Structure 1
Amino acid sequence: MPTGSTPERPSVAVIGLGYIGLPTAAVLASSGAEVIGVDINADAVATINSGLVPFIEPDMETTVAGTVAQGHLRATTETPHADNYIVAVPTPFKDGHKPDLSYIETAGKQIAPLLKGNELVILESTSPPGATEFLADTILAARPDLTLEPGTASTVYFAHCPERVLPGRIMIELRTNDRIVGTLNGEAGERARDLYQLFCEGEFLMTDARTAELSKLTENAYRDVNIAFANELSMIADGLDINVWELIELANHHPRVNILQPGPGVGGHCIAVDPWFIVATSPEASSLIKTAREVNDSKPGFVLDKVIPQAKRISGVKIAALGLAFKPNIDDLRESPARQIVNRLADKLPEATILAVEPNIDELPSELESRSNVTLTETVGAIEEADIVLLLVDHNEFVNLDQSILAQKIVHDTRGVWN
């Protein structure tokens, strides 16, 4: 048994300390496990070991600080031996929207030399069907002395337990949401359930690993398709000079209609990525899902086509771009359409001054920091200085803004906050 592990406090190594891995590590450590978090980012490791957090998530910093101080959570760049492994590494896509499993493969190769038999390996990363088998194959290829055959001293157990949490509410939803648990071999699912029951109060829904993998993709593809309907409707309404926000409000008075709200696109690592995994897995049967992805991916271009012609007619134009995150009140910029729009504005309008406003970050992402015509600034000053105001994210700071400051400005509200 690893140092510090007891029957009452199982040892867990969480591989990947990003937006899912670190909250999971923290909540496990606060709920009865001895947790070692592993990440290749030495700065993030040092930050966590000092009791701080490398990104914003409500209520997480207090939990991290407490568990680090108690000695139940520590971070390292070296993978240790543990009774349980949770792999929470990125799963981006490659050219052609094909899933990139290289991070999962690397994690498997790091875990393999440490195994002794009877460990549980949980893949938590959102993954295409077959990824848990891929992780198992990677480990067993490096360790032919181990087996998937249940009940032996050399058995390693594998399960898939996809995260189902909302950024901004992760620390709450980790505890309250129902949990899908997919078994690859033997009693892996039951063992994973027992581990997650340390903190999860929701219902545990047991299935096989492939079904668990597809269930998470299905949840996000469902939302993507519905958002695509709203986004396509917004483009139709614009061409007909109809206020789409009023249109949706009217339609939603029907008792069986619940249209979502349109925006400048879809971002984040989940909804903007996961449907492509389904398309890659079954390209001939997923035409609706593919079309929805294409509609949502086209929305930033639609926004740019509205703004750029106006900007070109104003000498020395200044544009206040409000928001860079992919959703309100967080600092997560992954796959953000707002970030993409600002970058493309800077490229298409090199003579313009773009005043980027993102209250949840301290410095611009690298591709915008290198743009000489983009400056990170504060809300009121940017609007007062701007000719064009482009609302891209409905952060509280923008929703609660005194709208009188918008007088005499050209305003593009992509979120329906000021309509």
Structure 2
Amino acid sequence: MHNLFKGRVAIIGLGYIGLPTAVVLATRGIEVIGVDVNPQTVCAVSRGEVPFVEPDLAVAVSGAVAMGQLKATSETPEADAFIIAVPTPFNEDHSADLSYVETATRQIAPHLRQGNIVVLESTSPPGTTEKIAGWIAEERPDLKMPHDTEPNADIFVAHCPERVLPGRIMIEMITNDRIVGGLTKRCAEAAASIYRIFAQGEILLTDAASAEMAKLVENAYRDVNIAFANELSAIAEHLHIDVWEVIKLANRHPRVSILNPGPGVGGHCIPVDPWFIVAAAPQISPLIRTAREVNDRRPHHVAEQVIGKARRFRTPTVACLGLTFKANVDDIRESPAVEVVGLIAEGLPDVEIVVADPYVDALPRQLAGRDNIKLVGAHQAVESADIVVLLVEHEPFKAMRHTRLSGKVLYDTRGAWR
């Protein structure tokens, strides 16, 4: 029987990963303090509310706060374990921006004491967990670090990457297998004692660098396969062939499983993580780089197709359905739909672009300043449009009656209306 963690956990970052992690621990009897730099997030969680849409999360947060197991603050507290779940975007050269991770680490350092566990959940390039130990050592030279004094280290440092799907986070956080990579074996075992509290999947122990790389590989694998589908879609368009029919037929082969094409790749993982691999080994990663470039190019291709159709009209109205990066969530991070809308508006400055998304209340900042873009309801958008572009397959869009779409020029980037 493995030991389970007992003590207080501080989670740094109450976003799409940090808050669900806080909740699953709190609802299992662990005292959890969530830390976030956004005062609106802190206030919302303190009231038992959720600052974003995720199925089943709102009820869980409300219950955890009501029980007194979950609290939110902007100040780093004393704790027995610290989980870092802050953003790791990339710089202009596609290298990882670790400034959020470094800031969180240095804020934690003054509060560390012997026996504490520090876990990085943020997706990061290989070597980041080692850097965390180095930053702590700079701030706390009094502590014995695991990378050079094992087996008598004062603290345990590990990496446990998240691997959940938005829209299913509360399910997959519990049921998925977890990778826990420590700077030492004892570090991995200490960190795993936290995740065994709620994880029903297998917990796989490894070294920190392998855990970091495994998460990047998972998303790079998906990115390469999506790029194949997107390139296939462009070729099929050129040859005037129905790509959806081709994929359906090809997938009848027992060892073929082609993904669906789309307007690009969005979210906080797939558009970012492969670049960390490329940056780590730029001379020997041409396939991963090319897949990223294919998928980054896709919104431009879609916009060019729509602009070409619009120029056949004298005074067209274009309706774009969807702004989020995937269906049935409110997450617009790295959304290709947002990019497509912006490119269409830029290419057709005198054309009215009406946009609808049941999960978005206001235009994203990238689009808000454009005079020819207006956010309206879905039915109003379709009724006023000459051209309808489906960018996200939200259920209300998929359920639209064909009679409502009749007579419109349709550009279905998701294959939802076939």
Relative to the length of structure 1, the TM-score reads 0.96
Which residue in 2 is equivalent to 1:117?
A: 114
Deviations 1:203-259 (A, max 9, x none): 011100000000000000001001110000000000000000000000011111110
Name the aligned partner's letter for residue 331 of structure 1: D
Deviation, structure 1 residue 171: 0.2
Deviation, structure 1 residue 316: 3.2
Which residue in 1 is equivalent to 2:289?
A: 290
Which residue in 2 is equivalent to 1:82?
A: 79
Deviation, structure 1 residue 8: 7.8
Which residue in 1 is equivalent to 2:132?
A: 135
Q: What 5-or-longer segments of structure 1 have no aligned partner?
A: 1-6
| Identity within the alignment, % | 56
In structure 1, C-alpha distance between the alignment counterparts of 2:314 and 2:34, rounded to whole Å:
52
Deviations 1:299-355 (A, max 9, x none): 111111111122234233211100011111000001110011111222222211111
Which residue in 2 is equivalent to 1:395?
A: 394
For residue 331 of structure 1, give the secondary structure of its aligned residue in structure 2: coil
CA contact (8 A) 1:123 1:160 kept: yes
In structure 1, C-alpha distance between the alignment counterparts of 2:217 and 2:175, rounded to whole Å:
20
Name the aligned partner's letter for residue 165 of structure 1: V
- 4, 7, 15: which one pairs with 2:12? 15
Deviations 1:80-122 (A, max 9, x none): 1110000000000001111111011100110111112211000
Deviations 1:162-216 (A, max 9, x none): 0010000000001000000101135111111111111110001110000000000
Which residue in 1 is equivalent to 2:24?
A: 27
Which residue in 2 is equivalent to 1:4?
A: none
Which residue in 2 is equivalent to 1:342?
A: 341
In structure 2, C-alpha distance between the alignment counterparts of 1:91 and 1:103, rounded to whole Å:
7
Query: CA separation of 1:245/1:34 partners in 2, compared to 1, >3 Å: closer, same or farther?
Result: same
Which residue in 1 is equivalent to 2:160?
A: 161
Deviations 1:55-92 (A, max 9, x none): 00000000000000111001111111110000000000
Name the aligned partner's letter for residue 175 of structure 1: I
1:406 is the counterpart of 2:405: yes
In structure 2, C-alpha distance between the alignment counterparts of 1:141 and 1:312, rounded to whole Å:
60
In structure 2, C-alpha distance between the alignment counterparts of 1:312 and 1:14, rounded to whole Å:
52
Deviation, structure 1 residue 367: 1.9
In structure 2, C-alpha distance between the alignment counterparts of 1:352 and 1:135, rounded to whole Å:
50
In structure 1, C-alpha distance between the alignment counterparts of 2:316 and 2:20, rounded to whole Å:
43
CA contact (8 A) 1:150 1:186 kept: no
In structure 2, C-alpha distance between the alignment counterparts of 1:77 and 1:332, rounded to whole Å:
23
For residue 319 of structure 2, give the secondary structure of its aligned residue in structure 1: strand
In structure 2, C-alpha distance between the alignment counterparts of 1:323 and 1:46, rounded to whole Å:
29
- 51, 60, 64: which one pairs with 2:61? 64
In structure 1, C-alpha distance between the alignment counterparts of 2:97 and 2:5, rounded to whole Å:
37
Deviation, structure 1 residue 151: 4.9
CA contact (8 A) 1:9 1:34 kept: no
In structure 2, C-alpha distance between the alignment counterparts of 1:131 and 1:341, rounded to whole Å:
34
Count of residues in Structure 1 that have an aligned counterpart in Structure 2: 412
In structure 2, C-alpha distance between the alignment counterparts of 1:82 and 1:130, rounded to whole Å:
25
For residue 158 of structure 2, give the secondary structure of its aligned residue in structure 1: strand
For residue 93 of structure 2, give the secondary structure of its aligned residue in structure 1: helix
Give the alignment of 1:18-417 within 5 angstroms.
Answer: 18-148=15-145, 149-152=149-152, 155-185=154-184, 187-417=186-416
In structure 1, C-alpha distance between the alignment counterparts of 2:138 and 2:351, rounded to whole Å:
55
Moved over 6 A (4+): none
In structure 1, C-alpha distance between the alignment counterparts of 2:30 and 2:349, rounded to whole Å:
53
CA contact (8 A) 1:183 1:207 kept: yes
Deviation, structure 1 residue 272: 0.8
In structure 1, C-alpha distance between the alignment counterparts of 2:187 and 2:30, rounded to whole Å:
18
For residue 302 of structure 2, give the secondary structure of its aligned residue in structure 1: helix
For residue 37 of structure 1, give the secondary structure of its aligned residue in structure 2: strand
In structure 2, C-alpha distance between the alignment counterparts of 1:32 and 1:158, rounded to whole Å:
23
Deviation, structure 1 residue 373: 1.6
Name the aligned partner's letter for residue 68 of structure 2: G
CA contact (8 A) 1:151 1:186 kept: no
Q: What 5-or-longer segments of structure 2 have no aligned partner?
A: none
CA contact (8 A) 2:64 2:70 kept: yes
For residue 55 of structure 2, give the secondary structure of its aligned residue in structure 1: coil
Name the aligned partner's letter for residue 184 of structure 2: N
Name the aligned partner's letter for residue 387 of structure 2: I
Name the aligned partner's letter for residue 264 of structure 1: P
Name the aligned partner's letter for residue 103 of structure 1: Y
CA contact (8 A) 1:9 1:32 kept: no
Name the aligned partner's letter for residue 407 of structure 1: S
Deviations 1:388-414 (A, max 9, x none): 100001111111111221111111000
CA contact (8 A) 2:13 2:36 kept: yes
Name the aligned partner's letter for residue 84 of structure 1: A
For residue 411 of structure 1, give the secondary structure of its aligned residue in structure 2: strand
Relative to the length of structure 2, the TM-score reads 0.96
CA contact (8 A) 1:10 1:32 kept: no
In structure 2, C-alpha distance between the alignment counterparts of 1:9 and 1:135, rounded to whole Å:
23
In structure 2, C-alpha distance between the alignment counterparts of 1:11 and 1:150, rounded to whole Å:
24
In structure 2, C-alpha distance between the alignment counterparts of 1:252 and 1:245, rounded to whole Å:
11
CA contact (8 A) 1:8 1:32 kept: no
In structure 2, C-alpha distance between the alignment counterparts of 1:326 and 1:235, rounded to whole Å:
20
CA RMSD of aligned residues (A): 1.2
